[in-house]
Structure 1
């Protein structure tokens, strides 16, 4: 039997991306013998890919029920309750599944007998770089956050010398130098701002400075703050309490603060207290990319713009969806790379001896496979 891959229309509010684009679908169909790709009618519309463009690539345009009858479902956002109910035992789903933030979703998928691959759990090893959807989307988020800040700030970003006088460049402070933070730094520099970067991992100093920004150093003994996956570790309580205090003067000097500090599966650390916002100049802007996990700023509300002390605090929850063309293109490349890695003789073949599959697999054969998620579910129980 031919392997069928289903591409549903995303139903989560504000989600504009699609898991596969026609160009990559065409390549997959030519490289995998017997493959059939079933695309729900309208799935690509918000990413500017028409049904006709999918048909021209060799895909079949079908209804929603037919899509969810496919052997493998490729999605962007985590499946809804209705979508999980439409799935059947032995089916495979790949996509963002929020395993550490919504472990109950893993239990629901396991109860349906679904094998699920979480893009968030793809191990950070060289062989899996082409499957790193998190980094791809974080890069888009960091870029978009800077553009959003420049649009909201009632000032120029660059230094300008005019007949009417000289305009000093805006000061941008980026908190967190992961993929999103580094892209925000690079974008702010390209826009002409004076940029500062901060991270608890001293190893990021070189990356920050290589982009032309100044590394913010606090009088705080951090030690080794990077885990095996390259993420920041959670600070000890005493250091957590001192960090916002030491950051406050740097925040007060900034016209824009872009905050990206987040540890997967944990509440976002509080870096920007109320008094720090009050000390900022009127008209300043804070873009808090940690908003979905509570935010790095005391005033952050997920999905909202809050104005306090004449400072705009913006808490976006899905900035890549603001750029659906390139977001879908990059995401499609990562998810198809993961799928193709385990297609053998025209069938999707789980391989738990492979560290990529073993790491990315969330559920299989009625069980939650990921050890950390199992532990979280046990604690909830």
Structure 2
């Protein structure tokens, strides 16, 4: 569903082209506005989108991660884990609920670098999705500063406006991620993504019915005891050992768009009371190479974001969307919600350090000794 443009953006011919092209594309392809989605991961290891775990899967997940801690005086929490499963033997309908959203391609199984039995991982994947907003990631760059993003004004950003991808590496690896967003008609939109350590719970989201998740619509603000003002007063760590950054829901006067933070730690929960935190590692966003001032380009390389990073073995989350309306001075959002996004992922096991043979050290010692003798003889 396309929303009305912000008044400040009228009169720009590029914007008219973007809107016209996008509308015609949506009609031609038969796109419809997808329902706001909770955290449903595009799993880069499995090459499938997982919406939740079954009861058996949650039991297995709790065994894998351990139970979340209980919090004195806080009701509604569920100590059971609802995070992604690592063991490939459990990647089936008995433990996971699959969805048909997203197209995966180029998945290549890496069978030469396993370190854990039964935990083969994929080292290459491309995911194509058609539910991307032009502002979701941009709104999350403001932190707890009030801003206007999408169709609302408030703090942080609505998790429903961001696409989530997860992956796991079984040993230290070099990981390369790329992300780009377009309207399907030749216009590319400025975008960004963040990389986090850890996993959020499936079906976690911003909801007024969940007091742990502040959002616009709450009649009053509830201070979340899970959050902390890191680093001096860190929040309560989840089973992954990750704590959430401070969200001032006690004294602020602004509404919340949500709780997605593109530049820091954050956490959320689901209706069942499962909760989890993500630890911010880095983000990738750069201003457009062109200077048309619209946040769009007809050249894909202008908006392509790329990150290459060394990661230790573990579970990771990518949050990605459009970057319009961000804290970095980008153009305002066009409120587009069904844009096309393509994320690529590739991991290569880090090369092990090659030990230096003992004979080399002995040879080096001999050379040093000979040089010392020559210096003494020359005196």
Q: Answer yes or no: same fold by TM over 0.5.
A: no
Relative to total residues, which structure has the larger helix share, 1 or 2?
Answer: 1
Normalized against structure 2, the TM-score is what?
Answer: 0.24
Higher relative CO (Cα under 8 Å, sequence separation at least 6) belongs to 2
Normalized against structure 1, the TM-score is what?
Answer: 0.24
Relative to total residues, which structure has the larger strand share, 1 or 2?
Answer: 2
